[in-house]
Structure 1
Amino acid sequence: MTNITKTATIIPIETPTLGDRSYLVHDGQVGFVVDPQRDIDRVLDLASREGVSISHVFETHIHNDYVTGGLALAEATGALYLVNGADEVAYDRTPIADGDEIRIGDSMVMRALATPGHTFTHLSYALTDAGEPVAVFTGGSLLFGATGRPDLLGHEHTHDLVHAQYASAQRLATELPDATEVFPTHGFGSFCSATQSEATDSTIGQEKLSNPVLTESEEAYVEALLGGLDAYPAYYVHMAPANAAGPSAPDLSLPELAQPAELRRRIEEGEWVVDLRSRTLFAAGHVPGTLNFGLDGGFATYLGWLIEWGTPLTLLGETEEDVSNAQRELVRIGIDRPAAAATGGPEDWSDRPLASFPRATFADLAHVRHHREVVILDVRRIAEYAAARIEGALNIPLHELPKRVAEVPDAEVWVHCAGGYRASVAASFLSAAGRRLVAIDDTFDNAKVTGLHLITDEEEA
């Protein structure tokens, strides 16, 4: 989606796997970038295709969900790097503060607006094109139908930040015309968003009609937002320090290729050897001890969430392209260099017989429960489990499972999530631990029509 104003062209750069957007904005000759991701080659290629130079790079905040490419992009292009002057960073930047105006090209002006709430020093940027207000880049402040979550800096700051978030949204709605287009960084699946929306574009006027932060009282907004907050990925704790230190451009060259004996050694020494194939292929046959984080799902989010930071990581992909795609995903969250890689298939990777496990549906589970006792392991998050679950199911959220495998009874385990991806990740940990298991590859909605008895926290109480 490309938005064209009077002279400015606004091009979102999607990172759907992390639920974020960056933006390139230009007037046909010169442009600026807002909140670039770590893999800046995408931005450079886009600017080249558009035939424009990049003169400025803006950060809305010190990000908590990805490693920025801002510093590296500024160094590669000679652009000014604009970061809130109140942020403590270890690199030279062009400080910017509330009310500052930056002219880009002949007609574009970016005005900084202090919008604390997601962080204390968060800035939004209002774009004026040829003297007319046309857009606002809201980062983790005002999102589509939601706001950025206020709890990422620690529980001790959440109260102050959630009230600041409300005031910031009110400021944007008051100071900007209804026709102003809203361009957030988060909110497209990112855990930085307090809630999720299906919207792909919006304006200040539309948000005034639909966004709880602008339609509800401050008390109601705060209560609902805090009541809906759920767990967020563990790797977030490493992102802000990395961004404050000044991340360099990533090395995306292929790692050293490993042979079966080395892969076995790495597994036996407790390193992570990750199979990037789909859950269907992994279940049918895999190297014993490998873990399945398929590229067809939330690969980086869940791998970054579960891995103990600093654990050596080897990637197994069917092709070099698969390995490269995984590397690109990983550098965005600060996992820079895999220890090794291998391509092909499990027969090429293993010097011993392959492991496997069956897949099934919720209908299969309903049938089996009529004939024998099995353990049902639900690896969804606590809020999902509380809203509706299979009676008798054991809940261990996926992000807790690596350290809690011993709590899973030594019996036949049927593991499920909401759609199959998390269940396959969990199944790979159980398989590595030598457990008897069945992975349910089905949507949880189907559990409701199979005769399985579903309950909620309210009903159980």
Structure 2
Amino acid sequence: MFFIDTIELSGLGNRSYLVGGAHTAVVVDPPRDIDQVIAAAARRGVRISHIVETHLHNDYVTGGLELARVTGARYLVPAAARVSFERTPVHDGDTAEIDAELTLRALATPGHTPHHTAYLLEENGTAVAVFTGGSLLIGTVGRPDLVEPRLTERLARAQHASVHRLAAELADETPVLPTHGFGSFCSSAQASGAATTIGKEKEVNEALVRDVDTFVADLLAGLDDIPAYYAHMGPANAAGPAPVDLTPPAVADAEDIAARLAAGEWVVDLRNRVAFAEGHVAGSFNFEAQGQLATYLAWLIPWGKPVTLLAASPEQLAAAQRELVRVGIDRPAAAAVGGPGSWIRDGEAPASFRRATFADLVDRRTAGDIVVLDVRRDSERAGGHIEGSVHIPVHTLHRRLDEVPAGQVWVHCAGGMRAAIAASLLDAAGRDVVAVDDGFQAAVAAGLTVCGCRGDGGPAT
């Protein structure tokens, strides 16, 4: 008998897998914080004998190299991936014996990257699962535009061919276990559901139900923005990531926090957006620890900028550190735990701003001129937007603050999280801001004029 344990990386929208039998196991696309993988293997009572990468990841830093060093496992990486460290190169058709009666077989599936490789798990020669990385996802495929713009169309066509290869060679009942597609921006479209099979994908996946030209045209037309930090992930993985240090950072007091803000460093408050709006250190930014912290902080912060973390508890701080090392933000410059009362110097008052709903926005708009700022992505706005609103996606706002018209700014997204980030950026810049903490679907119900609305408003974040 074999087992497959899923290791969820919900903040990044990814999954890793621990797969094995009675004695040994393989890890597929491991996260950088390898302690959780080692703990999972310990719970199973197995030795990690192999680690495999489906590709050089563009959205997170891998823990594969360090896990191999710590465990002595063989580190299998697609042969065509250009790396600066020793590994076992993998070619199409190569096999690895994982445990008694368990074999992993490599299947070349270029598209997400030129060297992408899927791995077929076989028990006594029968396929029992396929680990598809960024190739075949649940209802969609991995995006082909993360490597080099000149390769995008070629990779999109390769992605179509690779998915058809999997569908042709594997039985319909074969479970499909991708790395991406659970909120990751490596997915070419939002995946739906938590599990799938080859047979299910034959019925619904656009790569399998459309001809190549139609598929490629639609895929390229629908590609969304690429998080800025992705540019740093591939090179880090090719060079060989360093081990992580998850020990607590240096403690910052109120004077130190003020000095760091004065020096132009980023001070990031991890508390929930309600608490932040009620009171916070003036000049600090709000990235909720329970949201997509790693994705949006890494996307917005100038790469390499020192960051100080403010957390409600030691547990919140530790969880945030773990999230951030996965995207290459290795060590906070400092940190503080507690609340604004201990983070602000004596004699200074906390900053705050108002939160509101779309119904409140209707009332305020009739009373006078305000600025309505939409910070969703282009693709979301195309599905419907408030008439007369200004559009600046949140991941570009910190560079475009001077484009926000004068007046009180009512900022919204699809659900409230990104509006809170944007509101904190505007508040730090001295703007009078109101954060609309409401689902976009409520805009129509509130009586606002929404242009070109599909009715979904995009993902509620």
TM range (shorter): over 0.9
Q: Number of paired residues?
A: 452
Which residue of structure 1 aligns with residue 133 of structure 2?
A: 139
Alignment of 1:125-274 (within 5 A): 125-274=119-268
Return the letter of the residue paired with 1:397. P
Q: State the Cα deviation string for residues 380-399 of structure 1 (Å, max 9, x = none).
A: 01111122101100000001
Task: Measure, in 1, the Cα distance between the counterparts of 2:355 and 2:453.
Answer: 28
Return the letter of the residue paired with 2:417. Y
Task: Measure, in 1, the Cα distance between the counterparts of 2:335 and 2:392.
Answer: 30
Shift of residue 457, structure 1, vs aligned partner: 9.3
Q: Does 1:283 align with 2:282?
A: no
Q: Secondary structure at the match of 2:128?
A: strand
Which residue of structure 1 aligns with residue 458 of structure 2?
A: none
More displaced stretch, 30-39 vs 217-226:
217-226
Which residue of structure 1 aligns with residue 457 of structure 2?
A: none
| Greater than 4 Å deviation, 4+ residue runs | none
Q: State the Cα deviation string for residues 182-217 of structure 1 (Å, max 9, x = none).
A: 110000000000011221111111111111111111
Q: State the Cα deviation string for residues 356-391 of structure 1 (Å, max 9, x = none).
A: 001000000011111111100110011111221011
User: Given that residues 153 and 220 in structure 2 are in contact (C-alpha distance below 8 angstroms), is that contact kept between their aligned partners in structure 1?
Assistant: no
Compute the RMSD of aligned alpha carbons: 1.0
Which residue of structure 2 aligns with residue 314 of structure 1?
A: 308
Q: What percent identity do the matched residue pairs reach?
A: 55
Q: Does 1:23 align with 2:17?
A: yes
Return the letter of the residue paired with 1:183. L
User: Given that residues 40 and 249 in structure 1 are in contact (C-alpha distance below 8 angstroms), is that contact kept between their aligned partners in structure 2?
Assistant: no
1:395 to 391, 394, 398: 391
Return the letter of the residue paired with 2:435. A
Q: State the Cα deviation string for residues 77-128 of structure 1 (Å, max 9, x = none).
A: 0000000122111111011101111111211111111100000000001111
TM-score by length of 1: 0.97
Q: Does 1:10 align with 2:4?
A: yes
Task: Measure, in 2, the Cα distance between the counterparts of 1:249 and 1:26.
Answer: 25
Task: Measure, in 1, the Cα distance between the counterparts of 2:196 and 2:366.
Answer: 50
Which residue of structure 1 aligns with residue 113 of structure 2?
A: 119
Task: Measure, in 1, the Cα distance between the counterparts of 2:303 and 2:252.
Answer: 22
Return the letter of the residue paired with 2:289. L
Return the letter of the residue paired with 1:41. D
Task: Measure, in 1, the Cα distance between the counterparts of 2:271 and 2:226.
Answer: 25
Which residue of structure 1 aligns with residue 445 of structure 2?
A: 449
2:292 to 278, 292, 298: 298
2:372 to 373, 376, 385: 376
Which residue of structure 1 aligns with residue 49 of structure 2?
A: 55
Task: Measure, in 1, the Cα distance between the counterparts of 2:128 and 2:308.
Answer: 47
Shift of residue 249, structure 1, vs aligned partner: 2.2
Task: Measure, in 2, the Cα distance between the counterparts of 1:386 and 1:182.
Answer: 32
Q: State the Cα deviation string for residues 392-437 of structure 1 (Å, max 9, x = none).
A: 0000000100010111122111000000000000000111011111
Task: Measure, in 2, the Cα distance between the counterparts of 1:338 and 1:295.
Answer: 14
5+ residue gaps, structure 2: 455-461
5+ residue gaps, structure 1: 1-6
Task: Measure, in 2, the Cα distance between the counterparts of 1:210 and 1:403.
Answer: 40
User: Given that residues 369 and 407 in structure 2 are in contact (C-alpha distance below 8 angstroms), is that contact kept between their aligned partners in structure 1?
Assistant: no
Q: Secondary structure at the match of 2:441?
A: helix
Task: Measure, in 1, the Cα distance between the counterparts of 2:148 and 2:287.
Answer: 29
Which residue of structure 2 aligns with residue 108 of structure 1?
A: 102
User: Given that residues 111 and 162 in structure 2 are in contact (C-alpha distance below 8 angstroms), is that contact kept between their aligned partners in structure 1?
Assistant: yes
